Structure 1
Amino acid sequence: MTGSLPADVTVHVREDSARTRIEFRARNGTPPLKVSLPGKGVLDEARRQLDTGLQRLKDTAPELHVPEAELSAVFDSLRRIGLRLLFLLFDLKVVNELERFWTSAVPFARNPGLPPPLVECVGGRDAFLPLEILPLFRLAPNEVTDRESFVAACRSLVGFSCMVKRTMPLPQPPGLELVTTPEGRVPVRFLHYEHLAGARKELAWFSSTAAHRVELEGPYPVADPGAPSLAEQIYDPKLLLNGRHGGSDHSRRKTPDQVQHFACHCYANADDPLENEVELSGDGRAVRVTLGELGEDLVTAARDERADEQLPLVVMNACGAARMHATSSLSFPFLFLKNRNRGFVGSDVEVPDDVAAAFSQALYEPFLLRGLPLGRSLMEARNSLLHTFNNPLGIVYSAYADPQLRLCPKTMKDAYDAARAV
């Protein structure tokens, strides 16, 4: 099994009753940089400003494909989000020290011909620095005159130059390999809001282009009243949706879910994180549940001991209207990581429907069809939107998972060899 990669830069965010401290450490020996933020609660304000800025960016680029004539304005909007966050968070002298630290710590980060460096950000549920959006590799203005200069300018932002892993102080499952069925297919559970056009596109892709690689369970919800609940499926990834048999037992899939994909509405604007909600619909049935209710139901489900198996990666594609806000989106990964899922990928804000569908395909094509590690797949997805559609919104997706997580090479090879022998 491939081990976890060491981080090229580690960022520790520590909060106490008085202030927030941030420490930047580099693997290559660059002297560490330690910073105290100007006041308690400044990270919360930074996430509010991030949310406002990203909403404005979406208004600047409302369609999936951004016309070349609008690239300068789109990049200016993107860059100004990062500049405002830097002004809010750091003393101006520290900002210059940050640029020097990052260019020294990862000097080849902006070179697209080299593997992207890994940055690990470690902090509590509400203590994450919005690293991806910060232009730490070039604070000076970038002149954007065409598509090529737009893509080059975007690499001044951490999220387009580095793989970023967010780590919470929760137990981390050790497994880095997703297993497949004997036929070489990846068990994926699809949970959706059926009235979203983007969700329908995602389901069609799983059912057609990826059908040879994916064993799909769902979509959920279903009309069957005996089907397992959302919490039961999250707790036990072997449960099938075809009802109960013999009283209380569900039918079970032989190989548990390796990915649980949500293409749905997320309501993440409540003051209390546990009041944020997931909304699903399908087959004439609607499911809307708060994270607090999900947590309660998971406690109930935990009365039944589950097998000692690795729990699936969760990908939450929050598409639709303006319902998800950066200030409270951190509650979603917290729920699944507390459940001991192997990781969580999701957006910091809701994204337009067509962008969400395009990002989903751009992520899963390298990850599930080509077998690349998750970190590289996420980078490819961001850059695919950037190169194909001139769209920078892939930067709003964050990963709380080991970037080395990938399909098991041995099971993929065994399935390939078996197919060739037929």
Structure 2
Amino acid sequence: MTIDIDIGAACHITVTGNNGPPLETLNIKFSRDNLGELRRNVRNRLRKFAFDLAAPISTKDPRVSLRDGIRALRELHDFGYLLLRTLIGEKDRPKLPELIKMTRTACTGNAAADSWPGPRWSELSPRPNLVVFKTQVEDGIPIDILPLLNEDLDGLEAFDEFEQLGQLASCFLGFSAIVKRDIGKAIGVAPRLENVPQLPIKLFINRGLRGARQEEVNFRTNENIDVAPGGWPNDHSVPQNGFAKKLAEHLLEGNTRFGAGPRQLADQICHFACHSDTSEGLSSIDYEIGLQSRQLIGRRKVNIEKLTVALDKLRAKRGGGGGPGPLIFMNSCGSGDLDPRGAASFPDLFLDETLGFMGFIGTETVMPDQFAAEFSRVFYKHLIRGVEIGDTVLLTRWELLKTYRNPLGLMYTIFAEPEIRVMRPVEEPAMQQTPSSGILAGIGRFFGFQGRAVV
């Protein structure tokens, strides 16, 4: 089912079934007034959400206590509700209960549902219907954090804290729906990622980060992923003044990897395991990516302005044409952040149609190093199984919530067609297993993720 949300115009919300007539319609004006100030409030609140969850975890384990997870979700829920009221505006605010009921109906398939029960992790119950939300990239509002399935926490009933954690998570769109953003690309049918015999991934790394080094190990030990010869930069010979140009070359060279000659398959994903700086004091063109060749040496930085210029010049020199380029996965702090005050951001850069990238995945705020590494590991585990990336992100969020009581997966944002998946599903990816690996059976059966096409 689909619900279209267009911030900035009279919003005609329509819930439709698969290839069927409209089931329900609702007109609401989502206000764009003071969007810059609103987005700054969102930025600050999400940063607090991440810091509250980062403080109690260790350097090697992203686990938080149930009470910490519940408290963080309750506070985010209250902020998300205020954000939702602000977006709707005073005139259409009386329609909010109807909007929430429509969303709940679309997710559960039950028009009579008076409350949102949340997940029943211990039961093999049918999954709720998932909803695709279409929003404009440039709006910069993370629709995922809106509590559009239950605005009143007083109605939640739980026998224990673990169940309460799941019920709280289920209130948010990001845990109960796939948010499909209009990225403005005329891709047509969602591309398939070539993975025969392996999925080719180009890794850009900051080896000064423990989590980034763990990501490199995870890639190297997965026989279904081709990341040879490893992450770049692999030495500190590239001077800082030529770094933007060299990074642009590596991003646009699909058939070779870091100058190592032609390869059987072009890179399908460019993965950044790095640090990025999107501090409020910076203008958006000064947002930075930080890479590092070794744990203590070889630091290199590039901002959006210099990288944009380097990519544009190189693309103009080489010309366009060909199929879509690789998907960009920037697993770093604040990489998905959109600043309405500025003219640029990482999503804006990598979604520029002239550059040809397939799409972008990033984080909305600061991200603890160890959680980012674990999100990456679980994400690629499901992706290789043939799960579409929209479902993959959703499933990864739930698995990490159940395993580590940590809801930070809500901060990962997709700017790509959610139907993208690998050409050849691999049943059991050969990677290091953890106690969480058995969770997939229960959660997967509950949500019904079987390579399902998203409408």
Q: Shorter chain as normaliser: what TM range? A: 0.7 to 0.9
Does the aligned pair in 2 maintain the 1:122–1:128 contact within 8 Å?
no
Structure 2 residue corresponding to 1:262, chosen from 272, 276, 301: 272
- Give the residue type in structure 2 aligned to 1:156: C
Does the aligned pair in 2 maintain the 1:173–1:342 contact within 8 Å?
no
Q: For 2:195, what is the secondary structure of its paired residue?
A: coil
**Aligned pairs, how many?**
387
Q: For 2:231, what is the secondary structure of its paired residue?
A: strand
Is 2:182 the partner of 1:172? no
Q: Residues 144-223 of structure 1: matches in 2 within 5 Å?
A: 145-172=160-187, 174-181=189-196, 184-208=197-221, 210-223=222-235
Does the aligned pair in 2 maintain the 1:177–1:407 contact within 8 Å?
yes
Deviation sequence 1:138-163 (CA, Å, 0-9, x none): 11113564112211221111110111
Q: Residues 17-416 of structure 1: matches in 2 within 5 Å?
A: 20-28=9-17, 29-38=22-31, 40-42=33-35, 44-62=36-54, 63=57, 64-90=62-88, 91=90, 92-108=93-109, 113-114=126-127, 117-123=130-136, 125-141=137-153, 142-143=156-157, 145-172=160-187, 174-181=189-196, 184-208=197-221, 210-223=222-235, 225=238, 229-242=246-259, 251-269=261-279, 272-283=283-294, 284-302=297-315, 303-305=317-319, 308-319=322-333, 327=339, 331-338=345-352, 339-368=355-384, 370-409=385-424
- Give the residue type in structure 1 aligned to 2:6: H
Structure 2 unaligned regions, length at least 5: 110-115, 121-125, 428-455
Q: For 2:228, what is the secondary structure of its paired residue?
A: strand
Supply the distance in 2 between the matched residues of 1:256 and 1:273 (Cα, whole angstroms): 31
The structural deviation recorded for 1:67 is 1.2
Supply the distance in 1 between the matched residues of 2:72 and 2:79 (Cα, whole angstroms): 11
Q: For 2:257, what is the secondary structure of its paired residue?
A: strand
The structural deviation recorded for 1:217 is 4.6
Aligned to 1:420: none
Aligned to 1:416: none
CA RMSD of aligned residues (A): 2.9
Supply the distance in 1 between the matched residues of 2:320 and 2:262 (Cα, whole angstroms): 12
The structural deviation recorded for 1:23 is 3.5
Structure 1 residue corresponding to 2:2, chosen from 8, 28, 45: 8
After superposition, the Cα gap between the structure-2 partners of 1:323 and 1:296, relative to the gap in structure 1 and judged at 3 Å, is closer
Identity %: 24
After superposition, the Cα gap between the structure-2 partners of 1:326 and 1:56, relative to the gap in structure 1 and judged at 3 Å, is farther
Supply the distance in 2 between the matched residues of 1:240 and 1:214 (Cα, whole angstroms): 11
TM-score normalised over the length of structure 2: 0.77
The structural deviation recorded for 1:308 is 1.1
After superposition, the Cα gap between the structure-2 partners of 1:128 and 1:54, relative to the gap in structure 1 and judged at 3 Å, is closer
- The farther-off stretch of 256-265 and 270-279 is 270-279
The structural deviation recorded for 1:38 is 4.8
After superposition, the Cα gap between the structure-2 partners of 1:383 and 1:318, relative to the gap in structure 1 and judged at 3 Å, is same
- Give the residue type in structure 2 aligned to 1:317: N
Q: For 2:348, what is the secondary structure of its paired residue?
A: helix
- Give the residue type in structure 2 aligned to 1:48: R
After superposition, the Cα gap between the structure-2 partners of 1:294 and 1:72, relative to the gap in structure 1 and judged at 3 Å, is closer
Supply the distance in 1 between the matched residues of 2:268 and 2:182 (Cα, whole angstroms): 20
TM-score normalised over the length of structure 1: 0.83
